[in-house]
């Protein structure tokens, strides 16, 4: 505690010099943490920008880079074989059609697509009514679930559509549920459907050829999604005797793209911040060396009355530690504040989603910076002070 109080007294006696040394640390650490938070926020915000797909589903479709062939279509029997793959709960033929839809005198061009009875097929919860029952899927019943967008267009005056009949193209279906409205921002792209039919009903009326170019796969464990996608692509390639390849699409794919962009930005800002931190470290070392020079006689007296090398070294090492940890703490607060403000004031307007700030990783990052700078730039001045000859130090004026 004595060393700490002495270090604080020395630094407070030279406030301007101390503040200038801290400035570089605050800017460097703050910039790294702010860009880390913004990268995390934008990566997470893709769940708001790109809507419609559940995190528990992914889409499989032919890789058409080498041209298109009807033989790439997957038969219903081949789709059923995919369900034997570990982690696959259900695989259904998938397609979307834009059809003129009507409720009473209200009409709209809406996207119609298939779904199952499992709630994990949907990215939004049910706001009104219920989900499609498994018995209705088994019987290919003419029931449907509407998105919030479809409900708004087919009932612009408000009111519940549950129990009413919707005509989508040539198919009439009874509305059993309406999904909640997703978060909305300035940039939202909806890949989901507006009217969801049981996939068996959709197959009967819109896929008469008993095959599909796309397959929607529902999984059990999100953590195994990448391995499951690889297994499904491999299985389809084998079913086609290796003649065709397939690719997948999921919400995490979009997040990975955003993460790559912000990883690059973080690297660039990190390099700039590293230069700032090195300059700050040199400044801190310079302050401590000046402090050693100014207090040479004091050090000589301490050593003459019995102070050990470790005690003298600890005194100056505490000064370096206080400078760096204070600078990194202020930089952390500044970076978190800036990142939080941009996230809540601007990113949310783009995506409609507020992503939690990574507090823990930011604090750990700042602590690592502080420890590294203390060890790199605080050790030499402390070592130099501890190594002064007491007789020569007492002669110093």
Say if residue 360 is in the same domain as residue 378.
yes
Say if residue 284 is in the same domain as residue 347.
yes
Q: How many domains does the chain have?
A: 3
Say if residue 64 is in the same domain as residue 156.
no
Read off the CATH number of the domain in which 78 is found: 3.30.70.100
**The predicted structure's pLDDT at residue 186:** 47
Say if residue 360 is in the same domain as residue 343.
yes
Given the structure tokens 């990448």, which residue do they identify? Answer: 226
Say if residue 266 is in the same domain as residue 383.
yes
The verdict on residue 129 lying in a domain is: yes
Structure pTM?
Answer: 0.65
b/e per residue 184-211 (b: at least 16 CB within 10 A): ebeebeebbbbbbbbbbbbbebbbeeeb
The verdict on residue 305 lying in a domain is: yes
**The predicted structure's pLDDT at residue 290:** 74
Say if residue 76 is in the same domain as residue 222.
yes
**The predicted structure's pLDDT at residue 388:** 63
Say if residue 155 is in the same domain as residue 242.
no
**The predicted structure's pLDDT at residue 394:** 56
The verdict on residue 218 lying in a domain is: yes
Say if residue 352 is in the same domain as residue 262.
yes
The verdict on residue 42 lying in a domain is: yes
The verdict on residue 202 lying in a domain is: no
Query: What's the N-to-C CA distance of the chain in angstroms?
Result: 29
The verdict on residue 221 lying in a domain is: yes
Looking at 196, 217, 234, the residue that finishes a domain is 196
Beta bridge partners of 61: 247
If you average pLDDT over every residue of the chain, what do you get? 80
Say if residue 337 is in the same domain as residue 381.
yes
Say if residue 67 is in the same domain as residue 116.
no
The verdict on residue 132 lying in a domain is: yes
Say if residue 265 is in the same domain as residue 377.
yes
- CA distances (Å), origin 186, targets 53, 139, 151, 344: 19, 41, 21, 14
Beta bridge partners of 114: 197
The verdict on residue 201 lying in a domain is: no
Residues of the chain with pLDDT below 70 are: 1-14, 43-52, 65-68, 183-190, 254-255, 258-259, 266, 269-270, 273, 292, 294-300, 302-303, 306-307, 309, 348-355, 382-397
State the residue range of the domain holding 180.
102-196
Q: Are 68 and 313 in contact (CB under 8 A)?
A: no
Looking at 249, 266, 283, the residue that finishes a domain is 249
**The predicted structure's pLDDT at residue 133:** 95
With 0-12 / 13-18 / 19 or more C-beta atoms within 10 angstroms meaning exposed / middle / buried, residue 128 is: middle
**The predicted structure's pLDDT at residue 31:** 79
Say if residue 151 is in the same domain as residue 273.
no
């Amino acid at each position: 505690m004595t060393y700490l109080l002495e270090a604080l007294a020395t630094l407070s006696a030279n406030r301007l010099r101390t503040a200038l040394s801290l400035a570089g640390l605050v800017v460097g650490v703050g910039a790294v943490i702010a860009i880390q938070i913004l990268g995390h926020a934008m990566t997470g915000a893709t769940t708001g920008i790109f809507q419609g797909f559940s995190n528990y589903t992914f889409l499989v479709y032919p890789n058409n880079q080498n041209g298109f062939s009807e033989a790439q279509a997957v038969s219903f029997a081949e789709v059923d074989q995919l369900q034997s793959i570990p982690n696959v709960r259900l695989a259904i033929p998938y397609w979307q059609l834009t059809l003129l839809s009507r409720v009473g005198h209200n009409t709209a061009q809406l996207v119609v697509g298939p779904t199952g009875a499992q709630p994990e097929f949907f990215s939004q919860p049910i706001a009104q009514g219920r989900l499609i029952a498994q018995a209705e899927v088994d019987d290919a019943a003419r029931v449907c679930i509407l998105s919030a967008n479809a409900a708004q267009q087919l009932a612009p005056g408000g009111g519940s559509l549950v129990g009413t009949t919707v005509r989508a193209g040539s198919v009439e279906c009874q509305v059993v549920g309406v999904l909640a409205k997703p978060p909305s921002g300035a940039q939202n792209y909806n890949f989901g459907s507006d009217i969801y039919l049981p996939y068996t009903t959709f197959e009967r009326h819109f896929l008469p050829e008993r095959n599909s170019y796309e397959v929607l796969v529902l999984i059990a464990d999100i953590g195994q999604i990448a391995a499951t996608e690889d297994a499904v692509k491999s299985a389809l390639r084998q079913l086609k005797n290796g003649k065709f390849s397939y690719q997948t699409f999921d919400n995490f794919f979009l997040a990975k793209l955003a993460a790559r962009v912000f990883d690059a930005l973080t690297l660039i800002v990190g390099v700039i911040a590293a230069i700032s931190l090195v300059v700050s470290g040199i400044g801190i070392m310079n302050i401590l060396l000046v402090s050693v020079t100014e207090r040479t006689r004091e050090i000589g007296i301490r050593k003459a009355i019995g102070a050990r090398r470790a005690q003298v070294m600890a005194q100056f090492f505490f000064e370096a530690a206080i400078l760096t940890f204070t600078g990194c703490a202020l930089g952390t607060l500044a970076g978190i504040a800036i990142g939080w403000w941009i996230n809540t004031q601007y990113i949310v307007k783009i995506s409609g989603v507020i992503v939690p700030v990574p507090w823990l990783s930011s604090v750990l990052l700042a602590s690592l910076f502080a420890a590294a700078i203390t060890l790199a730039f605080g050790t030499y001045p402390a070592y130099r002070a501890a190594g002064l000859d007491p007789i020569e130090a007492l002669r110093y004026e």
